[in-house]
Amino acid sequence: MTTVHPMEADTQITRESENDGVADRARKSIQDARHRASETAHDLRERADQTAHDLRDRAEFEYELGKERLGNVSSEAERMVRRNPVLAIAGAVGVGVLVGLAMGNRRR
């Protein structure tokens, strides 16, 4: 049987107590880090959801605005053709000639 001196026993108990304290602090630090990481992930998810919602709203707005503008341009073009049908036909013929020339030059 080994005899342990009382001073050595006290030193060993003190070391074990210190080690337990370090382990407890390490566990607490890990728990705190996990909690902060979880909160950060939750915040990021909420921000991502809000950003996606904002982008979806903006896309819908821009789509509707574009649709309205296209309708206005179409209506204006129709009015212009009704007021000046000869000019409209001449313009269409001119565009056709230009496209034909451009396509003819491409084939060479």
What percent of the chain is predicted at pLDDT more than 70?
80
15: in domain? no
73: in domain? yes
Question: Would you say 45 and 37 are in contact if contact means Cβ atoms under 8 Å apart?
Answer: no
Q: What is the mean pLDDT of the chain?
A: 87
- Write the single-letter amino acid at 76: E
pTM listed for this prediction: 0.49
6: in domain? no
Q: What contacts 80, CB < 8 A, 6 or more positions away?
A: 88
Instruction: Give 65-102 pLDDT, tens digit per residue.
Output: 999 999 999 999 999 999 999 999 999 999 999 999 98
Q: What contacts 81, CB < 8 A, 6 or more positions away?
A: 88
| Residue 90 domain boundaries | 21-107
65: in domain? yes
> In total, how many domains does the chain have?
1
49: in domain? yes
97: in domain? yes
